[in-house]
Structure 1
Amino acid sequence: MFKHIKIALILSSTLSVIAMTGCQSFTQNKAVSSTQSPQVANQFNLQGKIGVKTPQQSGSAFFTWQQNQEQYDIELSGILGVGKTQISGQPGQVTLNSAKTGTITAESPEELLERATGWQAPITNLVDWVQAKTTSDTAKTEKDAQNRLAQIIEDGWTVNLSYNDAATLPNKLILQQQLETGKENRITMVIQNR
């Protein structure tokens, strides 16, 4: 049972930002994150499925993610029978609540993840990655034939983005972090509705 709760916490924390042919060569990205309008930045509603796989465990969940600037609400369901998990966040406070774990609070999603699982990941970056943007101007990027971001390498993670037809925002993100052991942490995020 502890293993199921730990997997639920990994999935919950991973989303609490909460996931972001014809390729060109890598370039330093200087303008992607600055091209957004401040009035519409970080405001979206997503629904989909997320899966997490580490060398020790794996699991998946359905999610609904509402982001309004710096505040977010995420609901997860179907986590290996653990039940529904609610995550709310704003600058300086992230709260995870479920019937199985109770309430866990931290100052950032990264801190919540580390406290709950001992695992470190750039969770806050998902807000930009699901919008096909980088978090910093030091990220390496690769674009597809339609000039959309196809890959981001940032903060020790490689993010591969996939798109439906002519869509400008990704419907799938695969995040990979190579470990010193030669293994990897992998997060797969499928966005079904925006």
Structure 2
Amino acid sequence: MNRPGILALLALVLVGCAGAPRRPALPADDLLLAQAAREAQLARHADWRLSGRIAVSDGRDGGSGQITWIQRGERYEITLNAPVSRRSWRLVGEPGHARLEGLDGGPFSSDSAEALLQEHLDWTVPLSDLAAWVRGIRAPGSASIRFADSGLPERMEQGGWSIDYRSFDQALDPPMPSRVFATRGERRVRLQVGDWSLAPGSP
């Protein structure tokens, strides 16, 4: 094809792209109503389970590994296995009590799971809030949300943390996050979920 023909073809492509209809964005109020409905739906799934990979860093040190998180109402069981360091631990607890098992000198107990992770693993993780964020919903307290074209959260700001949702598993009902990045300054939590399981909701 000669040069004039190529230029003409490019012009047609550009015109076609410019004229392609764009899906109109939903009004902000409608997006927030849809988010509230999604949060209400997930509230009926008090029992859930996820498995995947997690990486935590504070800008200097960090750790990563395979994670399994089982939530039964307010009781949780989180297991992490790090094949590289051959380190593994299990955190079990409920509001007001937590127990960290599998580390030298343990098990360790505290009324705060966050304090256990900070003291024995140097992990600064807002665990109670993370339980909401990993599901793409707001933790208690004020939060701002930016939505993607899909109508699902794209970024959430809460408690000084920025939570970015890189992808959702659209095959689930409701869709669940599959890649979640949470940052606060140099603190970072990166979660990639390979499998979600939601217990049936209450009638």
Q: Which has the higher helix share?
A: 2
Aligned partner of 2:201 in structure 1 is none
Q: Specify the code of the residue in structure 1 equivalent to 2:167.
A: Y
Aligned length: 168
Which of 182, 189, 193 is equivalent to 1:175?
182
> Letter of the aligned partner of 2:92 in structure 1?
S
- Greater CA radius of gyration, 1 or 2? 2
Identity of aligned residues (%): 21
Structure 1 residues 96-105 or 155-164, which shifts more?
96-105
Q: 1:94 touches 1:108 (CA, 8 Å); kept in 2?
A: yes
Give the Cα–Cα distance (whole angstroms) in 1 for the partners of residues 98 and 56 of structure 2. 20
Could you say what secondary structure the match of 1:84 adopts? Answer: strand
Query: How high is the TM-score relative to the length of structure 2?
Result: 0.71
Q: Given the alignment, which residue of 169, 188, 191 partners 2:190? A: 188
Which stretches of structure 1, 4 residues or more, deviate above 4 A after TM superposition? 22-27, 117-120
In the alignment, is the contact (CA less than 8 A) between 1:151 and 1:161 conserved in 2? yes
Q: Contact conserved, 1:45 with 1:66, CA < 8 A, in 2?
A: yes
Residues 33 and 145 of structure 1, relative CA distance in 2, 3 Å threshold: same
- Structure 2 counterparts to residues 1-194 of structure 1, below 5 A: 32=36, 35-37=39-41, 40-78=44-82, 80-116=84-120, 120-164=124-168, 166-167=170-171, 168-178=175-185, 184-194=186-196
Distance change in 2, residues 1:117/1:58 (3 Å): closer
CA deviation digits over 1:108-163, x for unaligned, max 9? 22222333356644221111111110013510101111110111100110000122
Which AA in structure 1 matches 2:81?
Answer: S
TM-score by length of 1: 0.73
Alpha-carbon contact 1:23-1:150 (below 8 Å) kept: no
Contact persistence 2:56–2:123 (CA under 8 A): no
Flag the 1:78–1:165 CA change in 2: closer, same or farther, 3 A.
closer
Partner Cα separation in structure 2 for residue 164 and residue 76 of structure 1: 23
> Residues 24 and 100 from structure 1, CA distance in 2 versus in 1: closer, same or farther, beyond 3 angstroms?
farther
Residue identity opposite 2:181 in structure 1 = I
Deviation of 1:41 (Å): 3.9
Do the aligned partners of residues 114 and 84 (structure 1) sit closer, same or farther apart at CA in structure 2, a change above 3 Å counting? closer
The runs of 5 or more residues in structure 1 that have no matched partner are: 1-21, 179-183
Q: Deviations over 1:72-118 (max 9, x none)?
A: 11111126424321111112111111143521111122222333356
